Every structure is written in C-alpha cells, then in structure tokens.
C-alpha cells in the first residue's frame, strides 16, 4: 500500500493531512489516537469506503499486476466495522459464511453455501469461542460475542489486507489477546497485512510492528513509527 | 458567607421554567385539534331522514327473523365456505408474489426515484378501486366463476401488500447490505443476506393479515357473482330467508375468529423474535 499526501476535511476542519507512508505484506499497523481524531475516517479512506479530500492510496496485491485504487479491490479486504454491521436476524454461521460472498456466485448462494464452507466457518466460530449454538441469531448474542462473530467473518473471507476498527473493544483480555494474536499470525505467516485501530498500549506494543498516530492538535503531524518490542513469530518449519 | 455554587439546590429557582403555549403546537397536537374540529363540523352537517321512526322496534323485528338459524343449509354452506377459503388462499399467494416485485420497486432505499414514483402511482391507483368493483370488473372479464374472485382479490390485495412490503424494505437498515457489498457481495447476495432477513418477519406478518382480510372479502365478492359464500348470502337476502342467512354468517364468524387467533399468535411470535423458543400455545 502506497499512501501519498492523503488528507480528509470535515467542514472547515482537517482531520489529517499530508499523510505519506508505505505498508508491506506482513505488517501489523496499529492506528492510534484519541477518540474523534479521525481514525475510522482514515481507515475508510484506506479501504475505499470513503473518498479522501486530497491525496492518493494505491494498492498492489501479490500476484496481480499494477497498483490500483482501493475501491476496485474491496473483495480482497477483510473489514471489521466499529458498528460490526452483522445481519442481526441471521444465524452466527450464516454471518460468518457471508464473508465468502465475494468468492461465490449469487445463484449458488441462493440455495445455500457449500458444505466445506460451513465446516470451515464452524471451525472459526469454535476457535473464537462462539460455537456453542451456531444457529442462534446474532441479535440474541452479547456484544462481545457479536464482535467475535464479526472477526470470524473477516477471517473467513481470507483477505489480503485486514482493516479492523477497534476489533477488541468489547472483549475481555483473554479473547482480546487471542483475536489480536490470530491477526498477528495472519500478518506474519499468512502473507497478509493488518490495519487495526487500537487503544490499549500493551496490545499495541505486543502485537503491532508499526504505529500510525493521529494528532488532534496538528492534522499534519501524523507519523508512522516502528515498534521494536513486537514478539517475533518464526515461520512454521 | 460564600455564595452557593451554580447548580447547587439552593441556587435553583422555585418553579421550573415554563414553555410558551405555541411551543406545544407540535404535529401530534395540531393534527388532533384539526381532527376534533372536523368531528364537530361533520356532526353538525350530516342530516337524518327527519321521519318519526321506532328504531329499536324495527331493529328487534329484523333480528328476530335471524333466529333460530336454519342449519339444514349447513352442508351447502360448508362447501361454499371451502371455496371461499380457496379463493382467499390463492389470491393471497398471487398477491404476495406480485407485491414483492412491486414493493422492491416502490422502496426508496432500493430503487431509483423514477421507478419509486411509478410504482407508488400504480399502487395508489389499485387502492382507489374497492374490492367489490374489482370483482365486477373480473366477472365481466372472466365470467361469474371463482376464478374471477381470485383475480379480483389478487388485484385488490396488491394495492395494500405492495405498499406494506415497500415500507418493510424501507425500514431495514441499508448499511448492513452496503457493508456486504463492501466485502464483495453482488446485489442479489446483498439483498438476500442484508435486507431479506430483516424484512421477512414484517412481510410474513402483513401476508397473514392479508389472508385474514381476504377471507372476509371473499365472502362478500360473491354478491356480484365472483364465487364463494357471497353468492349464497345474496340468494338468501333476495328471498328474505334470514334464518339461512344467519347460518352463513355463523360459519364466516367461526372461520374469521379462528384465523384471527391464529394470525395474532403467529404475529406475536414474529414480533418477539422467539425463533428458537419452543412452540407454545400458552404464550
């Protein structure tokens, strides 16, 4: 990902400006800053859901020629929205399976999902500790459980880049560590990149290798710093 | 002694600030006022026959003709009742299919403005014509058969279901469908997973209500020859056989009451989202 001169203006106020950075496969970037500074907006600009006021974002995917704007590549992005955007009146399993909609034909999904997809989705729910009743509706689950379903949906999508907006805000420390560890593993071993809004400094230090901080006082003072304390994961033999 | 800080109990005035009268003129209060004025004017302008009638005596004499009901016509009535239910079921099914398509076109959140305006005009036009007039048109086109009843009630129901379905689609939070599009779903998938699960309970609830309504309507449209119980009702009324008329009314009452309880129970379950709860009549 190549970001050049990125800026976003809301009314007469710049949230961020002159933002330049490069993101490589394998990077886990923690997006940090106080509430209301523009982290969600920046994430939306990076994944093509919002149009920036100035500047460009170009992404080159592995095994695909040429860099392209993010709006053309959304199928390859796994997004965990801050408001989750789950289908409340559908089962946990269906919600996770929806992560793979982009890879399946609309007529195929009209009659259901392939059985190997169902097994894979169920395994992910099990991994995140929400597999007790996979046919339960999302609206019957707690906030933390819903958040884990949203993360399972993004993981099931098998994207190239993860964009996660406060993905562990409703989770206890055990599941927060487990979710972020899984995302870190995806980045390190799965040939992926992760962009994650985080508030907890111990999570940032433990899982991210880059931190992009936004400054509410000076929108041009956004900077990327490399974190040294990240636990390195060695590839499986 | 120091003055109390602002906001402390002793600095509060004795009475809360009062609002001027015109601030109470919100939409609810203004429409309520207009409605009450309309009631007063309507009551003053509608005139009776000015004849000296013994209303109570007339009513009692007429009702006495109904009792006791003549149950000798029960087998024929049940046969007609079954045809009435068949007309209602078939017309409700056809209207659900047509209304889903029209409802999608009439939903502001899903369709382009030109299509929304066209579909809403069409629905308004259909709703303008009462069911009995639709029945007359259908009898003229298809003859005095039950088919005419199905056609008439289908058209009539589309006017209402189309509107209800479009409102059901509009009530769904479109952001879920948008987010599914964001992760690569095509428009059909975004509808199937992002909109349909949320609209389905409302759509099913409206459909059950329409079925109840159509059973009542199917009993009437026979008056103009469109099949069902209405044909019998019309004949007994013509020959002033009110005891037989009462038997037909009792049959309609029992079916409508049964369906009303069943519909209410289903709608309540839908509203409570208790999809996983065991089915219980006691609820």
Query: Which three-class secondary structure string do you get for A36-102?
Result: CCCHHHHHHHHCCCCCCCEEEEEECCCCCCCCECHHHCHHHEEEECCCCCCCCCCEHHHHHHHHHHH
How far is Cα A5 from Cα A17, in angstroms, rounded to an integer?
7
Separation between Cα atoms, residue A26 and residue A189, nearest integer Å: 8
Residue B30 lies in a domain: no
Distance from CA of B163 to the nearest CA of A (A): 23
Q: Is residue B198 part of a domain?
A: yes
User: Which residue's entry shows tokens 């120091």?
Assistant: B2
Check pLDDT > 60 for residue A207: yes
Cβ atoms of residues B144 and B225 within 8 Å:
yes
Which residues in chain B have Cβ-Cβ distances shorter than 8 Å to A106?
Answer: 186-189, 192
The answer to whether B272 contacts chain A (CB < 8 Å) is: no
Which of B183, B275, B277 to mutate against chain A (most A CBs within 10 Å)? B183
* Nearest-10 Cα torsion for B220, B226, B229, B234: 70
Q: Which letter does DSSP use for residue A16 in this model? A: E
Q: Give this complex's ipTM.
A: 0.76
Tell whether B273 lies on the interface with A, counting CB pairs under 8 A.
Answer: yes
Q: What is the pLDDT of residues A72-95, one digit of tens each?
A: 777 788 888 888 888 888 889 999
Per-residue pLDDT, A65: 75
Question: Which residues of chain B does A73 touch, with a Cβ-Cβ cutoff of 8 Å?
Answer: none
Q: Which of B182, B198, B273 sits opposite A79 (nearest CB)?
A: B182
**Residue B50 maps to a domain:** no
Q: Which residues of B are less than 8 Å from A87 in CB distance?
A: 176, 193-194, 197-198
pLDDT of residue B11: 66
User: In CATH, what number is assigned to the domain containing residue B153?
Assistant: 1.10.3720.10
Mean pLDDT computed over A105-129: 87
Chain B residues in contact with A79 by the CB 8 A cut-off are 179, 182-183
Helix (H, G, I), strand (E, B) or coil at B121: helix
- Give the closest of A89, A101, A137 to B184, CB-based: A101
Residues of A in contact with B176 (CB under 8 A): 85-88
Give how far the C-alpha of residue A225 lies from the chain's centroid of Cα atoms, to the nearest Å: 20
**Positions in chain B short of pLDDT 70:** 1-12, 49, 226, 271-283
Whether B3 is in a domain gets the answer no
Residues of B in contact with A94 (CB under 8 A): 193
Question: Rounded to a whole number, what is the distance in Å from the CA of B196 to chain A's nearest CA?
Answer: 9
Residue B180 inside a domain? The answer is: yes
Rg over CA atoms, chain A: 18
Residues of A in contact with B171 (CB under 8 A): none
The count of domains in chain B is: 1
* Residue recorded with tokens 């006691």: B282
In-domain check, residue B282: no
> How far apart (Å, rounded) are the C-alpha atoms in residues A227 and A29?
10
Q: Which two tokens stand for residue A120?
A: 């894979």
Containing structural domain, residue B211: 74-274
Confidence of residue A236 (pLDDT cuts 50, 70, 90): very low
**Contact B183/A99, CB-based, under 8 Å?**
yes
CB contact at 8 A, A104 and A136: no
| pLDDT tens per residue, range A1-36 | 888 888 888 888 888 888 888 888 888 999 888 888
CB contact under 8 A, A78 and B276: no
Q: Is A140 near chain B, with CB under 8 Å?
A: yes
Look at residue B15 and tell me if it is in a domain: no
Average pLDDT, chain A: 84
A-B interface: how many C-beta pairs under 8 angstroms?
73
Residue B110 has what DSSP assignment? Answer: T
Judged by CB atoms closer than 8 Å, whether chains meet at A85 and B176 is answered as: yes
Alpha-carbon torsion A171, A172, A177, A178, what sign? negative
Sheet holding A77-80, edge to edge: A77-80, A161-165, A193-197, A28-32, A210-213, A223-226
Is the separation of the CB atoms in A202 and A212 below 8 Å? no
Q: Do A87 and B188 touch (CB under 8 A)?
A: no
Nearest CA in chain B to A109: B189
> Domains (ranges, CATH) in chain A?
2-226 (3.40.50.300)
Mean pLDDT over A107-132 rounds to 87
pLDDT, one tens digit per residue, over B91-143 is 999 999 999 999 999 998 888 999 999 999 999 998 888 888 888 888 888 87
The pair of structure tokens assigned to A159 is 């994207």
Q: B189 and A106 in contact by Cβ < 8 A?
A: yes
Give me the residue from B175, B188, B201 closest to A85, CB to CB.
Answer: B175
Question: Is A179 in contact with A171 (CB distance < 8 Å)?
Answer: yes
Q: What is the pLDDT of residue A190?
A: 73
**Residue A226 phi, psi (nearest 5):** -85, 135
What's the alpha-carbon Rg for chain B, to the nearest Å?
Answer: 27
Tell me which of A61, A85, A111 to substitute to probe the interface with B (most B C-beta atoms closer than 10 Å). A85
Closest-CA residue to A153 (of A164, A137, A140, A142): A164
For residue B16, being part of any structural domain is answered with no
Residues 6+ apart with CB under 8 A from B182: A47, A49, A74, A77, A79
- Is the Cβ pair A101, B180 closer than 8 Å? yes
- Give CA–CA dist B66/B94, Å, rounded: 37
Closest residue of chain B to A105, computed from CA coordinates: B186
The closest CB to that of A102, out of B185, B187, B194, belongs to B185
Q: Using CA atoms, how far apart are residues A73 and A13, in angstroms rounded to an integer?
A: 29
**Both tokens assigned to B32:** 């309520």
Nearest chain B Cα distance for residue A101, angstroms:
5
What is the DSSP secondary structure assignment for residue B192, as one 8-state letter?
I
Name chain B contacts of A164, Cβ cutoff 8 Å.
none
């Amino acid at each position: 990902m190549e970001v050049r001169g990125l800026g976003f203006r809301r009314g007469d106020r710049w949230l961020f400006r002159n933002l330049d950075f490069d993101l490589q496969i394998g990077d886990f970037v923690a997006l940090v800053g106080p509430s209301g500074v523009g982290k969600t907006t920046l994430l939306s600009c990076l994944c093509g859901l919002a149009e920036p006021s100035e500047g460009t974002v170009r992404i080159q995917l592995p095994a695909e020629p040429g860099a392209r704007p993010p709006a053309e590549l959304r199928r390859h992005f796994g997004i965990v929205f801050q408001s989750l955007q789950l289908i409340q009146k559908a089962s946990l399993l269906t919600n996770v399976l929806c992560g793979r909609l982009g890879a399946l034909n609309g007529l195929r999904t009209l009659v259901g999902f392939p059985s190997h997809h169902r097994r894979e989705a169920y395994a992910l729910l099990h991994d995140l500790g929400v597999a007790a009743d996979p046919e339960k509706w999302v609206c019957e689950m707690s906030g933390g459980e819903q958040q884990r379903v949203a993360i399972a949906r993004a993981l099931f999508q098998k994207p190239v880049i993860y964009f996660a907006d406060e993905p562990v805000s409703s989770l206890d420390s055990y599941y927060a560590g487990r979710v972020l560890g899984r995302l870190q593993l995806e980045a390190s071993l799965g040939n992926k990149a992760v962009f994650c809004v985080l508030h907890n400094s111990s999570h940032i230090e433990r899982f991210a290798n880059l931190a992009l901080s936004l400054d509410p006082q000076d929108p041009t003072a956004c900077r990327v710093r490399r974190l040294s304390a990240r636990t390195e994961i060695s590839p499986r033999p | 002694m120091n003055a109390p800080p602002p906001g402390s109990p002793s600095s509060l005035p004795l009475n809360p600030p009062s609002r001027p009268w015109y601030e109470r003129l919100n939409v609810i209060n203004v429409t309520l006022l207009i409605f009450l004025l309309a009631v007063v004017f309507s009551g003053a302008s509608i005139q009776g026959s000015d004849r000296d009638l013994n209303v109570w005596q007339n009513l009692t004499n007429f009702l006495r003709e109904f009792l006791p009901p003549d149950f000798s016509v029960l087998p024929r009535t049940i046969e007609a009742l079954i045809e009435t239910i068949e007309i209602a079921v078939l017309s409700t099914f056809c209207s659900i299919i047509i209304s889903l398509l029209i409802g999608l076109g009439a939903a502001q959140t899903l369709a382009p403005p030109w299509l929304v305006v066209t579909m809403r005009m069409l629905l308004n036009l259909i709703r303008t014509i009462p069911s009995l007039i639709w029945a007359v048109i259908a009898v003229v086109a298809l003859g005095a058969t039950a088919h005419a009843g199905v056609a008439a009630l289908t058209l009539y129901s589309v006017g209402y279901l189309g509107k209800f379905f479009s409102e059901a689609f509009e009530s769904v939070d479109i952001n879920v469908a948008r987010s599914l599009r964001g992760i690569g779903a095509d428009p059909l998938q975004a509808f199937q997973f992002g909109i349909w699960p949320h609209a389905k309970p409302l759509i099913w609830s409206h459909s059950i209500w329409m079925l109840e309504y159509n059973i009542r309507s199917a009993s009437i449209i026979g008056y103009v020859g469109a099949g069902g119980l209405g044909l019998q009702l019309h004949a007994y009324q013509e020959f002033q056989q009110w005891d037989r008329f009462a038997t037909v009314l009792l049959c309609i009452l029992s079916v409508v009451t049964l369906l009303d309880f069943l519909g209410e129970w289903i709608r309540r379950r839908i509203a409570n989202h208790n999809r996983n709860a065991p089915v219980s009549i006691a609820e």
